[in-house]
Amino acid sequence: MTESKFFPAVVVGVALVISALVFGLFYYSGQSVSSKDILSVTGSAKMRVTSDQVKLIIALVRPSTQQSLGAGYNAIAKDLALAKDFLKKEGVDSNMITEGTVAMNQMYKPNGDNNEYELRQVLTIQSTDVAKITDISKKVSSLASQGAIISVQSLEYYYSKLPDLRVSLLSDAIKDAKARAEKIAQGTGREVGNVQAASSGVVQVLPPDSVDVSDYGTYDTSSIDKDVMITVKASFRLK
């Protein structure tokens, strides 16, 4: 009786093992064939654009001591008036100017004399007239002849149509990826079919002819002309 129960159990057990092996082999074979039928490549697209927005930041700085803070504030106020008058004469509308508050920073020295301060104020000019603001940035230092302690803190250029350009470049990058895939497939005697999957990389806004890309994307603000580049990783079905 025990033998008769044992034999069917062994048969069932063996059958289950065989079924598992067959399924495993089938799954492995399917995966292997599937991977051979997919070709993944990276495509890219690039376009040169000209900045259509500019931001100029002008810094006014006055050194002071604790005893002469009042005089320091008066001096930086005069510098501010000179700077605003200069910008007005250069044709910059007041609505383009953002006036920052005066910041006071204590200057620490190794000898322990901490009685010196720096008063600092910035003016930010934002405009779509890139050429005009660029020219003005070169003239700011002329205010030094009138006694102002003033300098250009930064001059930054931006391109406002980047979102629209990104869509266009994505399409071009996929076309480039397909062209590369076709070249590779030709060597194997196969043809490229439909896109199975695609993922885009980050947008790179670079100085002209630069290759200094970043995994997290980069946005160059130092150049009026820029190269906008995007990459796409695409997988194609092979026929």
Q: Is the pLDDT of residue 68 over 50?
A: yes
**Structural domains of the chain, count:** 2
Q: Is the pLDDT of residue 66 over 90?
A: no
Say how many Å lie between the first and final Cα of the chain, rounded.
Answer: 59
SS3 at position 105: strand
Residue with tokens 């700011």: 140
Indicate the residue among 121, 138, 157 that finishes a domain: 157
Per-residue pLDDT at 34: 54
Q: Is the pLDDT of residue 17 over 50?
A: no
- The answer to whether residue 42 sits within a structural domain is yes
> What's the pLDDT band for 115 if we cut at 50, 70, 90?
confident
Q: Do 68 and 44 lie in a common domain? A: no
Q: Which of 19-28, 94-103, 105-114 has the lowest mean pLDDT?
A: 19-28
> What's the pLDDT band for 18 if we cut at 50, 70, 90?
very low
Q: Do 57 and 135 lie in a common domain? A: yes
The share of the chain scoring above pLDDT 90, in percent, equals 68
pLDDT digit string, tens, across residues 155-204: 999 999 999 999 999 999 999 999 999 999 988 888 898 888 989 989 99
Per-residue pLDDT at 112: 65
Give me the mean pLDDT over the 102-111 stretch: 85
SS3 at position 46: strand
Query: What residues form DSSP beta bridges with 119?
Result: 62, 104
Give me the mean pLDDT over the 49-62 stretch: 97
Work out the angle at residue 214's Cα, subtended by the Cα atoms of residues 211 and 215, and round it to the nearest 5 degrees: 135
Q: What is the distance between the alpha carbons of residues 94 and 88, in angstroms, rounded to a whole number?
A: 8
Q: Do 170 and 223 lie in a common domain? A: yes
State both tokens at 162.
């980047």
Q: What is the distance between the alpha carbons of residues 52 and 39, in angstroms, rounded to a whole number?
A: 40
Q: Is the pLDDT of residue 6 over 60?
A: no
Q: Do 60 and 43 lie in a common domain? A: no
- The answer to whether residue 181 sits within a structural domain is yes
Nearest in space to 130 (alpha carbons), one of 159, 100, 97? 159
Is 202 in contact with 208 (CB distance < 8 Å)?
no
pLDDT digit string, tens, across residues 120-144: 999 999 999 999 999 999 999 999 9
- The answer to whether residue 170 sits within a structural domain is yes
SS3 at position 109: coil
Q: How many CB atoms lie within 10 A of CB 120?
A: 17
Q: Do 91 and 149 lie in a common domain? A: yes
Backbone angles phi and psi of 201, in degrees to 5: -85, -175
pLDDT: which is higher, 59 or 67: 59
Specify the CATH number for the domain of residue 182: 3.30.110.170
Q: What is the distance between the alpha carbons of residues 190 and 186, in angstroms, rounded to a whole number?
A: 6
Containing structural domain, residue 222: 36-50+161-238
